[in-house]
Structure 1
Amino acid sequence: MMKLFMGCVFATFNPVGIPLDLKPIAEYDIEYSGIEEQHRIIDLLTRMGFHFSATCIPYILRRPRFGEHLAWGESSAVGIANSFFGAYTNKEGGPLALLAAIAGVTYNAGLHVKSNRKPKVQVMVPCPKNEVDAGLLGYLVAQKTDEIPAIQCLGRWCCGFSCFKAFAAAYASFSHNAHFVVTGISPESSKIEGDNKIVVSEDEVEMVREKFSDVDINDVEVFYTGCPHTTLGEVFRIIRLVEKARTMHGKRYEVWVGVPGYYVLRRWWPEVRDYAMRRGVKLLAGTCPVVMDVKKFVDSVATDSVKAAFYLKVRHRLDVRVSTLEQYLGLEGNE
């Protein structure tokens, strides 16, 4: 009977609890449990018709269409689907998303209904300069309103899609909403009825930055970037920055990067993985410290992801610091 339903929709699965290539973390000499069980689950999913993905950025495998109905469960991806591509999806739990993939349909409620997608409050924010700023703004907006917000930058949104992704990850993690509208970027209208307005100040951003920073940048054991996952182009940018810092400062840095799991199936993977490792960059394929048993490896981490900082601090009890990679590498002034 399962075969009758296979292939109904394009289906992917989220990051898993272990790196799909253990070589980058082999030097830690830590026994990892659950490897066979995790691969058995992946095998079952792919036999059901899921694409081998293991990533929180499924939109790089298939771009959502405007107005298309989806049933996605990864919170940051839901935010991107709704707010950047204009697709329609609620923030689903795993069982419901699985059933929707099998059946090929989902329920017509919540953000699948056009009238429920209209922003109700305008939020004025300072323009983010980097991914950390964007994540902090996502957290603040989620804390300040329960309504769908129309985000208006005081200036130009000048740090591209990576900042949009960081905002979406933080906002969707701290809000029950899975949709927001950024004026000038989101495809849906940012017009609101009435004059309901909220302002986020630079001072509030700095206060929250301190909230997510309880260790000095010079005392962390590792820097993590890749929540949400990074693409191959971003990986090479990270490697170049690490190489530049090593040349300038004559020291070795420990940088972990979360990347999509399906990369391990590509012919270029071993060469890229080893090239990165030689420069102190460890590519964690198909996973993320948020879902790994990361406490076995480190006790402190710096990250450019507000979402990761929260979960690493609360779930894994790590000391965290929100920081850009450039700040960690000493390529710009630490805050």
Structure 2
Amino acid sequence: MTELTLSSEDRKMLDGERGEGAQIAMRIVARIARIQGATELVDVSHVHVGGSIYTGPGSLEVIETLVDRGAQVRVPTTINSISIDQKRWKTQGIDEDFAHKANRLAAAFENLGASPIFSCTPYVFPAGPRFGEDIVWAESNAIVYANSVIGARTNRHGDFLDICAAITGRAPFAGLHLPKNRKGSFLVKVPPMDRLDGSFYTALGYLVGKHSGELIPVIDGISTEPSMEDLKSFCAAVATAGPVGMFHMVGVTPEAPTVEAALGGRKPTRIFEITGEMLYDTVKGLSTGVGTNLDLVVVGSPHFTLGDCAELAGLVAGKKCAPGVDFMITTNKFVLDQAVRQGWAQTVEEFGARFSTDTCLCMLNPDMLSEDVKTVMTNSGKFAHYGPGLVRRGVYFGTINDCVESAVAGIPLTRTPAWAAG
């Protein structure tokens, strides 16, 4: 196994001089570093922890043990989505014992000093990492966004390394923390297209993720500046469809001013030429629904941003959901509070939709849905992928406008996106 060089402070933590909690955390960080072949650790400036979903007594015991042993985070640390909406869980069909344990887990992270943002989109918050900083983030879409869009440096990793990195302020200096490992090698050529929207970036991300393997893709051909929401859709889809931790989008992401820079001056290992037909086939393939009457629309995976709220409010103004259609949006309290101040949340609620905070769509399960819910629709590529397994129902995928028009009509409507219409 690779020899790991530790700093004097690392050794003090490892020897227990900084308390038993820090000692446990450093043991885990050092062990994972050796497994990854790292020869040293690196200081991290920010951590987003992902072990906040309650998966059983083991996950709770680990975090509460760290609290009992006196551990505290050393760097700014935020908490990912949790298993329940703390304000609304009683009306959402959540088992009381499960809710109690999920709340205990969230409280344990807070007791370690982590900030309870309870969001899978930590990049929308003002106090985040900057270009070139080493961080440890959980949640696949956030990891890809951090590496690619922000230009911070983090790896994809298992649960508990993140909280241990927060407690020690250190992470294995390996993988995407190393500049040499951040160059692309898989060149993806996108044809000239216009009228791009979130469904385009979802389809592109999903297609790229399926074909990238462990290579870092370099996407060439995007001629219009994507929004944060577009990039969020791409990040979620590319990380769902494959083990992608980073991409370069030429002329868009900070480490890709040119194709040559993104590839590090090397020739690509592979070239993938995408067609409009491939992208549209991907959109159609994300729909697995079979019902004719729409029962449930779910959006916000990853969490709705303020821009998403503004767009939805514009689409639903003066309209009403059809009777029997439940329209749910997941987001975080930070965004919802801003949407309320702007008046957009009220417009959305007048339409007949409802907001849920703290948790995410990937926590939905069949027990939370009545037997009357047969047909589900979403604008999320991530939920379209995972949803059938989570809720045991087919899921229709469409644009946010499709979701609104379907909710009004009471039937699933999936139209050809403008970018695919020619």
Aligned to 1:289: 361
Aligned to 1:184: 251
Aligned to 1:145: 212
Q: Distance in 1 between the 2:359 and 2:287 partners?
A: 23
Match runs of 1:304-319 below 5 Å: 304-319=379-394
Match status 1:32 vs 2:126: no
Aligned to 2:116: 52
TM-score by length of 1: 0.87
**Contact 2:140/2:239 (<8 A) preserved:** yes
Letter in 2 for 1:75: S
The answer for unaligned runs of 5 or more in structure 1 is: none
Alpha-carbon deviation of 1:290? 1.1
With 230-239 and 72-81 compared, the bigger mean Cα shift is at 230-239
With 317-326 and 259-268 compared, the bigger mean Cα shift is at 259-268
Alpha-carbon deviation of 1:22? 0.9
Q: Distance in 2 between the 1:273 and 1:305 partners?
A: 20
Alpha-carbon deviation of 1:293? 2.6
Residues 59-110 of structure 1 deviation map (CA, whole Å, 9 limit, x = unaligned): 2222321111111110000011000000000012221111111111000001
Aligned to 1:213: 287
Q: Distance in 1 between the 2:225 and 2:294 partners?
A: 29
Q: Distance in 2 between the 1:73 and 1:141 partners?
A: 21
Alpha-carbon deviation of 1:125? 2.1
Q: Distance in 1 between the 2:84 and 2:309 partners?
A: 20
Match runs of 1:55-74 below 5 Å: 55-61=119-125, 62-74=127-139
User: Residue 284 of structure 1: SS of its match in structure 2?
Assistant: strand
Residues 27-85 of structure 1 deviation map (CA, whole Å, 9 limit, x = unaligned): x6x35341111111111111110001110011222232111111111000001100000
Q: Distance in 2 between the 1:125 and 1:59 partners?
A: 26
Given the superposition, is the C-alpha separation of residues 117 and 74 from structure 1 closer, same or farther in structure 2, using an over 3 Å criterion?
same
Q: Distance in 1 between the 2:150 and 2:307 partners?
A: 21
**Contact 1:301/1:321 (<8 A) preserved:** yes
Q: Distance in 2 between the 1:57 and 1:217 partners?
A: 32
**Contact 2:82/2:359 (<8 A) preserved:** yes
Given the superposition, is the C-alpha separation of residues 333 and 263 from structure 1 closer, same or farther in structure 2, using an over 3 Å criterion?
closer
Select which of 303, 325, 332 maps to 1:229: 303
Letter in 2 for 1:198: F
Select which of 153, 165, 176 maps to 1:88: 153
**Contact 2:313/2:344 (<8 A) preserved:** no
Select which of 304, 313, 323 maps to 1:239: 313
Given the superposition, is the C-alpha separation of residues 112 and 17 from structure 1 closer, same or farther in structure 2, using an over 3 Å criterion?
same
Aligned to 1:172: 239
Q: Distance in 1 between the 2:387 and 2:314 partners?
A: 26
Select which of 251, 255, 258 maps to 2:327: 255
With 3-12 and 176-185 compared, the bigger mean Cα shift is at 3-12
Letter in 2 for 1:32: D
Q: Distance in 2 between the 1:234 and 1:201 partners?
A: 28
User: Residue 123 of structure 1: SS of its match in structure 2?
Assistant: strand
Higher relative contact order at CA 8 Å, sep ≥6: structure 1 or structure 2?
1
**Contact 2:73/2:168 (<8 A) preserved:** no
Alpha-carbon deviation of 1:243? 2.6
Aligned to 2:415: 334
Alpha-carbon deviation of 1:118? 0.2
Alpha-carbon deviation of 1:218? 5.6
**Contact 1:215/1:319 (<8 A) preserved:** yes
User: Residue 415 of structure 2: SS of its match in structure 1?
Assistant: coil
**Contact 2:94/2:368 (<8 A) preserved:** no
**Contact 2:310/2:344 (<8 A) preserved:** no
Letter in 1 for 2:282: V
- RMSD of aligned Cα (Å): 2.9
Letter in 2 for 1:210: K
Letter in 2 for 1:177: V
TM-score by length of 2: 0.70
Alpha-carbon deviation of 1:232? 3.6
Letter in 1 for 2:104: R
**Contact 2:188/2:220 (<8 A) preserved:** yes
Q: Once the two structures are aligned, what percentage of the paired residues are identical?
A: 24
Q: Distance in 1 between the 2:176 and 2:152 partners?
A: 9
With 133-142 and 83-92 compared, the bigger mean Cα shift is at 133-142
Letter in 2 for 1:214: T
**Contact 2:165/2:171 (<8 A) preserved:** yes
The answer for unaligned runs of 5 or more in structure 2 is: 1-18, 22-66, 407-412, 417-422
Alpha-carbon deviation of 1:263? 6.1
Alpha-carbon deviation of 1:245? 3.6
Larger gyration radius, structure 1 or structure 2: 2
Alpha-carbon deviation of 1:323? 0.5
Given the superposition, is the C-alpha separation of residues 213 and 267 from structure 1 closer, same or farther in structure 2, using an over 3 Å criterion?
closer
Q: Distance in 1 between the 2:94 and 2:150 partners?
A: 41
Match status 1:325 vs 2:400: yes
User: Residue 236 of structure 2: SS of its match in structure 1?
Assistant: helix
User: Residue 94 of structure 1: SS of its match in structure 2?
Assistant: coil
Alpha-carbon deviation of 1:197? 1.9
